Amino acid sequence: MTPKFHPKLKIYRDLLFTIFKGILFIGFVLLLNSCGKEVNKEKKKSNNAVATIEEENPLLGPIDDRPNSTPQNDEDETPSGEGPAEDECTGYNLVWNHSFEDHPEQKKKSKKRYQSIPHWENHVSGSEGFEIYYHKKVSKLKAHSGNSMIQLDGKSGKKGDSGILQVMQTRKDSVYKLKFFYAGHNRLILKFNQIKVYWNSHLIAVISTKKREWKEYEFLVVAEDETSNLSFKSQPDRGSKGGFLDSISLKEVCD
């Protein structure tokens, strides 16, 4: 015989079950909330750690913000470890300060004459030096890359003629591809824009144009020793407006 509950007892029993279920639900919600807070704390700790690393590491950030006094390599890569082996062809740009961004401080939209800047020196005896155009345009011509470009003929007369030279580490008998951008300055007299290109003191090209626009030039050269020198020189004349150079590279040709 099934026992019968008094109606009031049944109401109390249902009420207790409801309260018990509510307690379980509230406990479950509190447990989930507590776990969520712990996860958020861990995320904040992780984010703070990353921010600290970024602030302390000077090499992070766009490659364009870094100094221009080191060779520019393909895909902004640099050799790892102790560097390539002596018989390894890297294809890296061996020219330092390749677009003349590294120079003494000067005002924007100015040109200034120097005898030397980092990694480049004037090698013409008796010359008063070359000119760096910084944030300065000539007509519509501005620097091919970065904010600076170089003009070799910066003053009227023989003292204005100049040249730049850089010595680089090379591998004997290896073939290298030389590339640079050149633009004329004087639109009236062609010879005033003339620039001579030398590899290990051997004349490899004479270039000139009246056009004030960048044109790329490319040559293949062979290293005669473990060091090689690259130089550019203005044509002796009485003009003060010589040709411009920018974005110079020298890369070993890899098979």
Domain span at residue 37 reads 1-60
Give pLDDT tens digits for 204-228. Answer: 999 999 899 999 999 999 999 999 9
Residues 107 and 221 in one domain: yes
Backbone dihedral angles phi then psi of residue 41, each to the nearest 5 degrees: -65, -45
CB within 8 Å of 226: residues ≥ 6 apart? 169, 170, 171, 172
Task: Answer whether 155's CB lies under 8 Å from 128's CB.
Answer: yes
Instruction: Look at the block and give the residue holding tokens 């061996």.
Output: 94
Residues 73 and 89 in one domain: yes
Task: Answer whether 184's CB lies under 8 Å from 139's CB.
Answer: no
Over 80: is that where the pLDDT of 65 sits? no
Residues 80 and 37 in one domain: no
Backbone dihedral angles phi then psi of residue 230, each to the nearest 5 degrees: -115, 135
3-class SS of residue 79: coil
Over 60: is that where the pLDDT of 83 sits? no
CA-angle at 164, arms to 163 and 169, nearest 5°: 145
Last residue of a domain, one of 33, 60, 87: 60
Task: Answer whether 160's CB lies under 8 Å from 235's CB.
Answer: no
- Which strands form 215-222's sheet, in the order they lie side by side? 110-114, 130-134, 148-151, 244-252, 175-183, 215-222
Residues 99 and 146 in one domain: yes
Task: Answer whether 246's CB lies under 8 Å from 181's CB.
Answer: yes
pLDDT-derived band at 237 (thresholds 50, 70, 90) equals low
What is the count of structural domains for the chain? 2
Last residue of a domain, one of 45, 60, 75: 60
Q: What would the two tokens of residue 228 be?
A: 């090689």
Using the 8-state DSSP alphabet, how is residue 19 labeled? H
pTM confidence score? 0.66
Residues 132 and 201 in one domain: yes
Residues 49 and 71 in one domain: no
Q: Comparing 130 with 57, which gets the higher pLDDT?
A: 130
Domain CATH number, residue 96: 2.60.120.260
User: Which percentage of the chain shows pLDDT scores above 70?
Assistant: 63
Residues 133 and 10 in one domain: no
Task: Answer whether 195's CB lies under 8 Å from 206's CB.
Answer: yes
The mean pLDDT of the chain is 77
Give pLDDT tens digits for 169-191. Answer: 999 999 999 999 999 987 677 77
Residues 53 and 144 in one domain: no
Task: Answer whether 194's CB lies under 8 Å from 200's CB.
Answer: no
Residues 56 and 72 in one domain: no
Cα separation of 193 and 147, whole Å? 21
Residues 146 and 192 in one domain: yes
Give pLDDT tens digits for 34-59. Answer: 655 554 554 444 444 333 223 333 33
HSE of 249 in the Cβ direction (CA atoms, 13 Å)? 18
Q: What would the two tokens of residue 226 be?
A: 């473990």
Residues 106 and 199 in one domain: yes
Give pLDDT tens digits for 102-113. Answer: 999 999 999 999
Residues 152 and 83 in one domain: yes
Q: What would the two tokens of residue 121 be?
A: 């020196």
